[in-house]
Structure 1
Amino acid sequence: MTGDSEDPNDEVQYHLEVGPGDVAPSVLLPGDPERVETIVDDWEAHEIRGDHREYRTATGSHEGTPISVTSTGIGSPSAAIAVEELARVGADTLLRVGSCGSIVPEAAVGDLVITTGAVRQEGTSKEYVREDYPASADHRVVSALVAAAEELGYDYHLGTTCSTDSFYAGQSRPGFDGFEARDSEANIDELREAGVVNFEMEAASILTLAGIYGLRAGAVCTVYANRETGEFRTEGESKAAKCASLAVTYLEKMDEAVEASNSDHWHAGLSIER
């Protein structure tokens, strides 16, 4: 039997310091707390609901749709904490919003990558479920992100993401003093040949936990680095944020269309108008 000391969550969550009513059903998940301000700049209104450690939470509205944002810090361990505690206070849709490194030439710096599924090259999700459990993005979330990118006129790419626990060795970058991890180049070549589009550090754990808990999740990242061309620029930082915010508005309309049609799932035969 688990004692109270092993579950510090009452109504107010231990790490996020938010409680029931503080977050909307749909929450954007950037890594950097400073990106919260970039995201809410595109909303009509917002209010900070929690600010503790790497976790900063704001709730507001985008085109009349309730929406929240919670920063997760860097990496899957802290992202999983955010998923756990957001689910406890009522969130059911989670969109990872961030930056990434492309490993294919066509995904240029400044483009978006919309994740359809993720390689679980991180350790957090393995604490939850067997390694062959898929980290899959929700099809409705992917559709909403695509619709948003199309409306905004952003160049985007759909594909598989590889989530790692290391920005350096795990993503086949040289470490300190030129250190190279074992099979570094072979690893990146294998991923590229298998159709993987990009590296980042949180999507796999978010998608895996969402699958286990029956939540909806997806990810959209702006490309900052292209490993094929050697470019690295922090260009288009707001693109992923704008795309994700608009996607939440699309999701609300999609959900309404599903309910009105008495369908069980979103499908191509349904249409939405904003």
Structure 2
Amino acid sequence: MTENVNTPHIAPHGAEIAETILLPGDPLRAKFIADTYLQNVVQFNTVRNMFGFTGDYKGSRISVMGTGMGIPSASLYAHELIHSFGVKNLIRIGTCGGLSTNLDLFDIVVASAASTDSNFLHHYKLPGTYAPTASWPLLSAVAKEAKTQNLTLNVGNVLSSDVFYRADPSDAQKWADMGVLAVEMETAGIYSVAAAAGVQALSVFTVSDHLFKGVETTADERQTAFTGMMELVLPVAASL
């Protein structure tokens, strides 16, 4: 990281931010990861209670920080982490709502691409429609680790939506009909910010509810599922 740099939203005051960072939406999940999995932890951010920590995992320095909900919040933190603090690998970890009927609760989804209904991509003023995609080195590393752990991955397109409570519930079916696996709220922004900066990004999710099957996890179940996903992603982060 750049020494003694602070931004309006991240103020480490010289504390280390690693080149590889895990990005849950919930800052309390960032704290859970630091408390549960990392050693020699230093907290590098408390601004707006968006907690960030850096610690050791199997000999590698890894950071973890909350991003808040939605593309505006997540892309803001991604931009500052990359451009002000030198982060090179951004791995979003979170939950998603299933759209594909092939998905069940607790399944793991990896976003090879992210469709969106957000206007965020327009600020790049591209002469066409940009398709935010995952970084292959991260995606292939997660796939390899999943095979080692004998885990099944569901890899494909997700929807990064600005809307949680939709006026037209039939919109979800239209995305599902296009083969979109699941819906969440941040990935298209993170992938785009990373691509514009020439760094790597990947999103990995656990299915916490399903929009068509009418099922959802409890708070305790989500905690357990999140732990399983972390144990898939952490070895990859440590290898970068």
Length-normalised TM-score, structure 2: 0.88
- Give secondary structure in 2 for the equivalent of 1:246: helix
- How far apart, in 1, do the equivalents of 2:13 and 2:115 lie? 32
Is 1:106 the counterpart of 2:102? The answer is yes
> Which of structure 1's runs of 4+ aligned residues deviate more than 4 A?
none
State the superposition RMSD in angstroms.
1.8
Shift of 1:129: 4.2
Q: Is the 8 A contact 1:19 1:89 kept in 2?
A: no
Instruction: Decide whether aligned partners of structure 1 residues 95 and 161 sit closer, same or farther in structure 2, where only a CA change above 3 A counts.
Output: same
Q: Which residue of 2 aligns with 1:267?
A: none
- How far apart, in 2, do the equivalents of 1:84 and 1:20 lie? 19
Q: Which residue of 2 aligns with 1:90?
A: 86
Report which stretch shifted further, 134-143 or 236-245. 236-245
Shift of 1:243: 2.1
Q: How does 1:245-260 map to 2 (within 5 A)?
A: 245-250=234-239, 252=240
Is 1:154 the counterpart of 2:151? The answer is yes
Which residue of 224, 237, 248 maps to 2:208?
224
- Deviation sequence 1:55-102 (CA, Å, 0-9, x none): 211001211111101101111111111111101111011011111001
Give the number of equivalent residue pairs: 229
Shift of 1:206: 0.1
Is 1:28 the counterpart of 2:19? The answer is no
Q: How does 1:1-274 map to 2 (within 5 A)?
A: 11-18=5-12, 22-40=16-34, 41-87=36-82, 88-130=84-126, 132-169=129-166, 181-182=167-168, 184-185=169-170, 187-234=171-218, 235=221, 236-250=225-239, 252=240
Q: Which runs of 5+ in 1 are unaligned?
A: 1-9, 170-180, 253-274
Partner letter of residue 195 of structure 1?
G
Instruction: Decide whether aligned partners of structure 1 residues 114 and 231 sit closer, same or farther in structure 2, where only a CA change above 3 A counts.
Output: same
Q: Is the 8 A contact 2:110 2:203 kept in 1?
A: yes
- How far apart, in 2, do the equivalents of 1:245 and 1:148 lie? 10
Q: Which residue of 2 aligns with 1:174?
A: none
| Higher-Rg member (1/2) | 1
Shift of 1:20: 6.1
- Deviation sequence 1:151-207 (CA, Å, 0-9, x none): 3343321010100112111xxxxxxxxxxx24x31x222211211100000000000
Report which stretch shifted further, 101-110 or 121-130. 121-130
- Give secondary structure in 1 for the equivalent of 2:183: strand
Length-normalised TM-score, structure 1: 0.78
Q: Which runs of 5+ in 2 are unaligned?
A: none
Q: Is the 8 A contact 1:21 1:89 kept in 2?
A: no
Partner letter of residue 146 of structure 1?
A
Q: Is the 8 A contact 1:13 1:19 kept in 2?
A: no
